[in-house]
Amino acid sequence: MGLIVDTGGMPRVRAYAHRGGAGEATENSLAAFSRAVDLGYTHLETDIRPTRDGVALLHHDASLGRTTDGHGPVRDTTWEGVRRLTLADGSTPLRLEELFEAFPDVHVNVDVKEDGSIPALVEAVQRCQAWQRVCITSFSPGRLRRVRSLIPAGTPTSAHPWEVAALRLAATGAPLPRVPVRPRRIQIPMRALGLGLATPDVIALAHRHGLAVDVWTIDDEVDMEALIDLGVDGIMTDHPTRLRSVLERRGLWGSGGE
């Protein structure tokens, strides 16, 4: 599960800078990721979209308009067109390879936002030989099943929503279905559709099945403290300075493993 350090009985918590720390710097920018790494973060989170010519672009939205000075869908724009755009801080949008290359010792959680991202993802991770420092996730069960069929055995992936739902039901007594490829992590919000997801029963069941539990996107210190007390393995935040401060106060700051 990636829990490699024990501090008085409490494992250290894997801290993720969500989109590089979007509450404190321009999301998915080199400056944001650099700032997080300078703070001591060893785990970064990002999203990818495919350009028209198959480049894995670090970008959350389907369209370019919210975070760049461009417009239109990412998938309709070539990489040459994207690299002429600027983010809010004046920098150029990044390719996935650039993130791996800039921070060769950092783990990257990648959310695959479109089917067209899959070939670009596999090519980028293969070129950088980053299989053991990437965790791949997606909200689409079909997309994640396809990713799992293409990547080397043992590459970490996170649970898709159907797998999360099955675990949530199993925590109430339902049987947990057998699946051909088990994810390594379950990455969830604190609650969804009015139901608590990051509950003691769900966390305990996940741990019994060897699944690490990461919770997103947590920016409130009270919630951070509560999740630490529940025994979660990782917290994703848009405010990396805030999460680091909480973990330092608890004596838990440091690498949380893979």
Which residues belong to the active site? 18, 60
How far is residue 109's CA from residue 258's CA, in Å, rounded to a whole number? 11
- CA angle 21-70-61, nearest 5°? 45
Read off the tokens for 59: 């970008």
Instruction: Report which of 99, 94, 49, 58 is spatially closest to residue 76, judged by C-alpha positions.
Output: 49
Quickly tell me which residue has 């369209």 as its tokens.
63
Other C-beta atoms closer than 10 Å to the C-beta of 63 total 17
Q: For 108-130, give one letter per residue: b (16+ CB within 10 A) or e.
A: bbbbbbbebbbebbbebbeebeb
Largest CA distance in the chain: 54
Quickly tell me which residue has 């053991």 as its tokens.
132
